[in-house]
Amino acid sequence: MTSDPLSWLVSLEGVPSGLAAARDGIDVVLRDRGLRRTSPETTAESLLRGAHASAVLEGSTSTLAEVRAGEGDAVAQDSLRLSTELLSLVPTLGRSPLQALARLHALASASSLPAEERGRPRDAGSAGRLRDLADLITSSAGSPGLLVAAVVHADLATAAPFASHNGLVARAAERLVLVARGVDEKSLVVPEAGHLALREAYESNLRGYATGGDAGVHSWLLYATEAYAAAAEASPLRRPAEG
């Protein structure tokens, strides 16, 4: 019998209550407007907002209006390309997480890297980190989806296993996990916007995750519960499309 590698995180002080509150906040947003009355256009708007927010976190200076118009700088275009195919990878994440992560990078880097570098780890050490992360995704079925999404995000962002676009890939993988684990099956909350709204804390806690040992992981998870609350508020269900 294989134990869940993330089970120890659930008992950390403040994490269970934080995750429960974040999940309740997401569920309230989804329930209040009625999932049966949502449309593919609402999901598309959430993905668009997420693509813009993720691009800004990666250094883009493009506005949401520019991204909505299919314009914007190269980073915004890479993020938008990634978002348009993201949900098609939900089945792949369940079957082969490693393949799904590779595909995320291939999409993000399609305009900037040669074909032989897309979706491939930087080196042997990075390949090992990706395999470990794929195994973690497969073996953590008993852990809350929000917890798994937060760990996958931070691991990818801090390990930087690909030659480029690691931040975009990390945030896309987080959203993908939230969909695949049933937290937000129609992808209507905007986790990327949650991180952008808390940008200083986001970047600080990622640094802590990378270098702070168990304490850094603990702080990241507490931060993530706040970010997911902000993600729910950024949903098109809460805020209609602008411009």
Predicted pLDDT at 37 = 64
38 falls in which pLDDT band (50, 70, 90)?
confident
| Average pLDDT of span 189-210 | 98
Domain containing residue 81: 7-29+39-233
User: Residues 53-82: pLDDT tens digits?
Assistant: 999 999 999 999 999 998 899 999 999 999
pLDDT for the residue 1: 43
Q: Given this model, what pLDDT does residue 165 score?
A: 98
Q: Would residue 121 count as lying in a domain?
A: yes
Is there a domain that residue 34 lies in? no
> Considering the domain boundaries, does residue 241 fall inside one?
no
pLDDT (0 to 100) of residue 35: 52
Number of domains in the chain: 1
Please indicate whether residue 177 or residue 31 has the higher confidence score (pLDDT).
177
Q: So what's the pLDDT on residue 242?
A: 58
Residue 238 inside a domain? The answer is no
Average pLDDT of the chain is: 94
Inside any domain, residue 95: yes
Mean pLDDT of 206-222: 97
Q: For the domain that residue 159 is a member of, what is the CATH number?
A: 1.10.3290.10
Q: Give domain status of residue 166, yes or no.
A: yes
Helix/strand/coil percent split, the chain, to 5: 70, 0, 30
3-class DSSP state for residue 121?
strand
46 lies in a domain?
Answer: yes
**52 domain residue, yes or no:** yes
